[in-house]
Amino acid sequence: MVAKTMEDLVSLCKRRGFIFQSNDIYGGTKGLYDYGPMGVELKNNLKHSWWKSMVYERDDVEGLDAAILSAPEVFRMSGHEDTFSDPLVDCRSCKSRWRADQLQNNLCPNCKSKDLTDPRPFNLMFKTAIGPVDDGKSFAYLRPETCQQIFTNFKNILDSTSRTVPFGIAQIGKAFRNEITPRNFIFRVREFEQMELEFFVEPEKAEEWHKYWINKRLEWWKIQGISSDNIKLLNIEKEELSHYSKATVDIMYNFPHGEEELEGIANRSDFDLGSHTKNQQDFSINSKVIKNDKSTTKLGVQNLDDKKWYIPHVIEPSAGVDRGVLAILNEAYKEENIQDNNSRIVLSLQSHLSPIKAAIIPLKKNAEKLVNLSKKIKTNLQKVGLGRVMLENSGNIGKNYRRHDEIGTPICITVDFETLDDNSVTVRDRDTMEQKRISIDNLINYYTDYFN
Ligand code: GAP
């Protein structure tokens, strides 16, 4: 097996339709990527797996899909207007801009000049005008994290579901950050997706729940095919914590470019509901929050034993979808030597993540009987509802196997002339490359069992 690099992954992603540079035909835009036919399936499967584990398989979490454009008050009260910034320096020689904390030896990475300005804060939030008049007064932020709308909808969800603490609200969606130096493919981008759970707990139970969610999240990443050898937990030092966090543990992954954050699991204490609540003075809020005289809603709950009102604390596992996709591609990508001095690239994805679940291949292109039977098999397997099943009518079996190895299709089903006589097909396994004959009558059972 040969070691893989980021270039290997970028090249496979483009060649096989997973991920393209955005606005490619106009020269491309830094920090923006588009997911192609295979990428969108992989990403949807990853998001579905998260949603299933967070919402469907639990009895204490509700879902939400909130608007991206947010009223300025949301990100004023959340502290983002004041603190969500990176230190920026300008190079006076070549006029480029860099993040001060990413410079090596205080040199401009572009022209190696030492003539740099002092660092100054650069807010990462994107703004856009709302309504027909762009007078600078009526604007919205494109949310830089998905969770704030979970907090602003806290009371709506409580009232409509009758939940009591502990319970959580899950959301998957886009977030936007005007990163100064987007880099490393889809690792640091300006438009990305997050999968965030905000889990509301009693203050004295917060640390226990924090530990619980760290373990749960490690287990989940393993199920997505992430090897424990490539994962490390990092306790964020007090002085490095985000403004809202009391304690954060990052799940660090060994990406092709180095070890970096895949997911953060934060104990946000009472900062969020305490920031957005009306009548802050009615609660004893521990966190340092901005005075809020705009909120119309109290975000406290009543302790069922002593009947006192309090602000729930929040535990937040927050994972990046794009970083998840990158880690999963990195784990699955293999270059293997096979028979007769040949080699192949194979994407050994966990089958629930594979973009295509099965490819149905008539041995000869346009051979009517084979193609019609293949279409029928495709329709029947598609109806099972496990994901996309594809008909491959190009006639080149070798090329089809190569392509489906590279996009991680777990099984290829070939319909040949013998099929017309014995009603059986050849099923090839992606990982072992073993082939066996299976009767068409047993195919749905075989297929269902394979994915279960
Ligand atoms: N609500 C908490 C929050 O947003 P964060 O650590 O800033 O915390 C959470 O972001 C996750 O979002 C990160 O662990 C990462 O996976 C993903 N993420 C953050 N910034 C990103 C970027 N510029 N590009 C891609 N993913 C990013």
Report d(CA 399, CA 414) in Å as an integer: 13
Rounded to whole angstroms, how far apart are CA atoms 331 and 139?
A: 42
> Which regions of the chain are under pLDDT 50?
none
Check if the beta carbon of residue 428 is closer than 8 Å to that of residue 410. Answer: no
Nearest residue (CA) to ligand 1, atom 24: 188
CB of 264 sitting under 6 A from ligand 1 = yes
Mutation test residue for ligand 1: of 194, 251, 259, 260, the one with most atoms within 8 Å of CB: 194
Q: What's the confidence (pLDDT) of residue 102?
A: 86
Distance of alpha carbon 290 from alpha carbon 297, whole angstroms: 16
| Model pLDDT for residues 390-416, shown as the tens digit of each residue | 999 988 999 999 999 999 999 999 999
Global pTM?
0.96
- Cis amide prior to 166 (ω within 30 degrees): yes
301 φ/ψ angles, rounded to the nearest 5 degrees:
-130, 165
**Measured between alpha carbons, how far is 325 from 327 in angstroms, rounded to an integer?**
6
What would the 3-class secondary structure string for the chain be? CCCCCHHHHHHHHHHCCCEEECCHHHCCCCCCEEECHHHHHHHHHHHHHHHHHHHHCCCCEEEECCCCEECHHHHHHCCHHHHCEEEEEEECCCCCEEEHHHCCCCCCCCCCCCCECCCEEEECCEEEECCCCCCCCCEEEECCCCCHHHHHCHHHHHHHHCCCCCEEEEEEEEEECCCCCCECCCCECCEEEEEEEEEEECHHHHHHHHHHHHHHHHHHHHHCCCCHHHEEEEECCHHHCCCCCCEEEEEEEEECCEEEEEEEEEEEECHHHHHHCCCHHHCCCCCCCCCCCCCCCCCCEECCCCCCEECCEEEEEEEEHHHHHHHHHHHHEEEEEECCCEEEEEECCCCCCCCEEEEEEECCCCCHHHHHHHHHHHHHHHHHCCCEEEECCCCCHHHHHHHHHHHCCCEEEEECHHHHHHCEEEEEECCCCCEEEEEHHHHHHHHHHHHC
- What pLDDT is attached to residue 274? 98
* Residue 345: CB atoms within 10 Å: 18
Distance between CA 229 and CA 90 in Å, rounded?
A: 39
Residue nearest to atom 12 of ligand 1 (CA): 320
Centre of ligand 1 from the C-alpha of residue 139, in Å: 24
pLDDT score of 3:
59
The confidence score (pLDDT) of residue 123 equals 94
Residues 6+ apart with CB under 8 A from 332: 225, 347, 348, 349, 408
Nearest Cα to Cα of residue 199 among 66, 80, 48, 318: 318
Q: Is beta strand 139-142 parallel, antiparallel or unpaired with respect to 126-129?
A: antiparallel
pLDDT at residue 133, as a whole number: 85
Residue nearest to atom 14 of ligand 1 (CA): 263
- Please tell me the distance between residue 418's alpha carbon and the centre of ligand 1 in angstroms: 53
What is the token pair recorded at 54? Answer: 């967070």
Q: At what angle do helices 37-51 and 206-223 cross, to 10 degrees?
A: 140
CA of 194 to the centre of ligand 1 (A): 7
Buried b (16+ CB within 10 A) or exposed e, 253-263: bbbbeeebbbb
Q: Which of 50, 125, 197, 261 to mutate to test the pocket of ligand 1 (most atoms within 8 A of CB)?
A: 261
Could you identify the residue written with the tokens 């004893």? 284
Residue 261 near ligand 1, beta carbon < 6 Å: yes
pLDDT tens, residue by residue, 289-343: 999 999 999 999 999 899 999 999 999 999 999 999 999 999 999 999 988 888 9
CB distance 147 to ligand 1 below 6 Å = yes
